[in-house]
Amino acid sequence: MDDMEDDTVLAECIRGGDAACFEQLVRTHGGRMLATARKFMRHEADARDCVQEAFLSAFKNAHRFEGRSRLGTWLHRIVVNAALARLRSARRRPEISVEDLEPSFDGLGSRIDPRFESAPRPEKILETDEMIARVHACLEALPDTYREIILLRDLEGFDTAETAGLLGVELATVKTRLHRARAALKTLLEHSDLEHTS
Amino acid sequence: MKVLMLVPRWMRRWMVRLMPGMPTCEQVDSYLDDYLDGELPDGQRRQFERHLRMCTPCQRYLHGYSQAVRVAREAGRDEVRNALGPPPEELVQSILIARAQASDDC
């Protein structure tokens, strides 16, 4: 039996109310789903709640799994949706202005701001754990709208169409927000490198 | 290209502004993601690269921008690699209890 057939059998088993099957699902996929939830949630407790919500949703909606994708892919999307829903319902925190982090151009469209010519570059972040921590610290500083886009496109690997579907926005909106978010992240990483090397 | 580098930077910037058909830095900035994804049509890509050859600030900016995207993607991949173990037992039990309660409610 290949992997897709295994997934279909497992989904059938869960639809049938088999508790052992469901436990197998949780133990097999829970680790990766928790890793995903942690990228979106600021606190471990929220990430775990997110995963729990996702598995309950999977249990209630097992009849919707049609076997066209891997079960892990289906669960990944469920936990991402759960995380996005939690982010939207959370109380808004004071946000920095992303405009302050974007490049500047003069009246003729030429790039200005000499600091971009002298700032250290993000590739100087070498140690993996330090890199992950610094990327997340910079992402934390972004407004939620832009943070979500980078999480979905660059950290989770969804393409533009999938991201648009998850966020309920147009493709052009995803592209514009992504561009601004990446520009802001670049600036924040450069500033964080300056703080660490000065 | 090497000859161009002998031209003072301020002069190169004016050459970029005055050359017919040369996109501005701001226009180039708007194409960055399509360029990095290999999705720029050939004609636009050639113009984009022609601008880059002339414009040091845009060269540096593109380098920093693409590096920021790279480290973000690496952070995502590393996190998944680091989290390939099973979920915490406490979380597993919490999910199983919630599932049992949901079953009772049905």
pLDDT of B4 above 70: no
What's the confidence (pLDDT) of residue A52? 96
What's the confidence (pLDDT) of residue A149? 94
Torsion of the alpha carbons at A85, A86, A91 and A94, rounded to the nearest 10: -90
- On chain A, the residues whose CB falls within 8 A of the CB of B16 are 110
* ipTM for the assembly: 0.79
Whole-angstrom distance, CA of residue A147 vs CA of residue A83: 12
pLDDT of B84 above 50: yes
Residues (pLDDT < 50) of chain A are: 1, 116-120, 125, 198
- On chain A, the residues whose CB falls within 8 A of the CB of B102 are 56, 59-60
- On chain B, the residues whose CB falls within 8 A of the CB of A103 are 29, 61
pLDDT of B106 above 60: no
* Mean pLDDT estimate for chain B: 84
- A26, A105, A178: residue with CB nearest B33: A178
Only one residue has tokens 């991402």, namely: A80
Whole-angstrom distance, CA of residue B21 vs CA of residue B28: 12
Query: pLDDT tens-digit profile of A125-172?
Result: 456 677 778 888 898 888 888 999 999 999 888 999 999 999 999 999
Q: For residues A198 and B33, which has the higher predicted lDDT (pLDDT)?
A: B33
**Nearest-neighbour CA in chain A from B37: distance (Å):** 11
What's the confidence (pLDDT) of residue A66? 78
Whole-angstrom distance, CA of residue A144 vs CA of residue A88: 9
Interchain proximity B74–A131, CB inside 8 Å: yes
Interchain proximity B99–A17, CB inside 8 Å: no
What's the confidence (pLDDT) of residue B103? 77
pTM of the model: 0.79
Q: What is the mean pLDDT of residues B22-48?
A: 91
**Nearest-neighbour CA in chain B from A126: distance (Å):** 10
CA-wise closest residue to A180 among A114, A91, A103: A103
